[in-house]
Amino acid sequence: MKFGFYLLRKTDDPQLTLNMISKLLYLLIGFAGIAIGNLSFNQSSEPQPAQDLKQLSQHLSVINFGPPANLEFGGQKVPLDRPEVKKRLERELSKNVKYHHSTLLTLKRMNRYRETFVNILEKKGVPADFFYMAVAESNLANATSPVGAQGFWQFMKPTARAYGLEVSTTVDERFHPEKATFAAARYLKDYYEQFGDWSLVAAAYNMGGPRLKRKMKVQPGKDYYGLDLNSETDNYMYRILGYKCILEQPMRYGLNFTEDELYNPIRYKVVSVNENISDLRTFAMENGSTYELMKLMNPWLIADHLAVKEGKTYYIRFPFTEELNASELLVKTIRESESLVEEEPTADSDAQLESEPNTESEDEPNTGGENPNSGGQRA
C-alpha cells in the first residue's frame, strides 16, 4: 500500500490527467474505427486482427509521452528548456516504453529494493535519485558486464575492494545488494567532494573521475548537459532520467499493474558465522533450508564453502518461505570465453578516484530496526 500511495502522489498533476484522458479517447476512437471497419468488411472477408492492432497502435502513437516540466535530479533542475536535452530525454522515454515488458519487470523489482536503497543513500548524504542509477546500471539484478563489472551497482574488483567490499575466492560482496549500496554511496559522495554537481558525479561514476576532469579541462562547458563526452557517458544521464520519469509515474507512460503484481521485500532470518564452513550444503540443511535457497538469498557466497578470517563475522540469510521469486539475485556465470583479467588499481583507472578512498566497512544492514539474529528483518 505504501508504494501505491507513493505513485498517487507522483502522478497528481494536470499534465498527467490530460494524458490519461487523451489516451482513453484515442482508445475509444481506435476501437470504434476497428468495429466500423469489421462491419463493412465482414461479408466478404475474415477479420484481420493484425491489421486492427496496427490501426490501434497508430492512434496511440500520437499520445505525448514527454517528461514532466519540473523534472529534477539530485535537487537540480534538468534544463528541459534546451531543445536538445528535451529531445534526447523524449527519445529515451520512447525506447523504455517500447520495451514495455522489461520496464514493467524493473518496476516490480523496485518495490522490493527502493526503500532500503534510498535509506542507505540518504544516510550517506547521497540524493535518493541515485537509486535510478542502480536501475540504469543493472535493472536491479546481479548482472555481469562484458568488462567484468558486477552486481546491482556494477563495481569492478579494484573499486569494490577500495570501498570496503570483500572480493575473495569464497566471497564477492559486489553481489550483496545492501553492502554494495553502502559502498556505492561512499563512492558517489567522494566524487561529489570533487565535482560539486550530482549530474557530473553520475558521469564520473560511468567514465571515471580522472577522464572526466581531462575532458572538462579542454571544454568551455562545465555542466553535464554542455559537455562533449564519449557516447556511453553522453547518454548516461538520459538513461537515468528516463527510468526516474517512468518508474515514478508509470501510469503516465502506459505501465498498468496491480499492487499484488509487485515484488515484496523478502522476510528472512539471519545466522551469524565466525568460523570456516567446509560444506555449505550441509550448513544449509542444518539450518532447515536448502543449498539452492541459501545461495539465492546470499549470492555473495560464490563457492561451496566459506573461508572466514580471524575476527571476521558473516551474516547468512535464510528465507521464511521456500517459494522464493527472486531471480534478480542469481549470479550469471561468465562463459570461459569471457574470462576476465584482474586489474590493479591505479590513480588513472576508470574505476578509481584520485583521492584516497574511504575504506570503512558496513556490517549486515539492519534496516528493519531489529537485532540481526532475531529473525525478523526484511530484505
Same domain, 80 and 22: no
Question: Buried b vs exposed e over 303-333: b needs ≥16 C-beta within 10 Å?
Answer: eeebeeeeeeebbbbbbeeeeeebebbebee
CA distances from residue 1 to 28, 247, 265 in whole angstroms, order as listed: 31, 16, 13
Contact 219, 227 (CB under 8 A): yes
pLDDT band at 99 (very low <50, low <70, confident <90, very high): confident
Encode pLDDT of 236-260 as tens digits: 999 999 999 999 999 888 888 899 9
Round to whole Å and give the CA distance between 318 and 314. Answer: 13
| DSSP one-letter code for 314 | E
Kindly report the CATH number assigned to the domain that includes residue 143: 1.10.530.10
Nearest one of 169, 165, 142 to 153, comparing CA atoms: 142
Same domain, 247 and 148: yes
pLDDT band at 52 (very low <50, low <70, confident <90, very high): very low
Encode pLDDT of 109-154 as tens digits: 999 999 999 999 999 999 999 999 999 999 999 999 988 999 999 9
Same domain, 91 and 56: no
pLDDT given at position 366: 41
Same domain, 120 and 204: yes
Same domain, 43 and 82: no
Q: Half-sphere exposure (CA, 13 Å, Cβ side) for 148?
A: 17
Q: How many structural domains is the chain composed of? A: 2
**Does residue 298 form part of some domain?**
no
Q: Which cell numbers in the block locate residue 228?
A: 562533449
Q: Which residues contact 319 (CB under 8 A, 6 or more apart)?
A: 266, 267, 268, 289, 293, 297
Round to whole Å and give the CA distance between 81 and 98. Answer: 25
pLDDT band at 370 (very low <50, low <70, confident <90, very high): very low
| DSSP one-letter code for 82 | S
Same domain, 47 and 77: no
Round to whole Å and give the CA distance between 181 and 171. Answer: 17
Determine the distance from the C-alpha atom of residue 281 to the mean position of all C-alpha atoms in its chain, rounded to a whole number. 31
**Does residue 319 form part of some domain?**
no
Q: Which cell numbers in the block locate residue 233?
A: 557517458
**Does residue 123 form part of some domain?**
yes
Domain end among 213, 235, 260: 260
Phi then psi for residue 177, to 5 deg, are -55, -45
**Does residue 88 form part of some domain?**
yes
**Does residue 314 form part of some domain?**
no
pLDDT band at 324 (very low <50, low <70, confident <90, very high): confident
Domain end among 240, 260, 280: 260
- Mean pLDDT across the chain, nearest whole number? 79
Encode pLDDT of 278-310 as tens digits: 999 999 999 999 999 999 999 999 999 999 999
pLDDT given at position 131: 98
Determine the distance from the C-alpha atom of residue 220 to the mean position of all C-alpha atoms in its chain, rounded to a whole number. 32
pLDDT given at position 363: 57
Q: Which residues constitute the domain of residue 32?
A: 2-60
Contact 236, 76 (CB under 8 A): no
Nearest one of 78, 160, 38, 111 to 325, comparing CA atoms: 111
Same domain, 100 and 193: yes
Same domain, 155 and 103: yes
Same domain, 168 and 230: yes
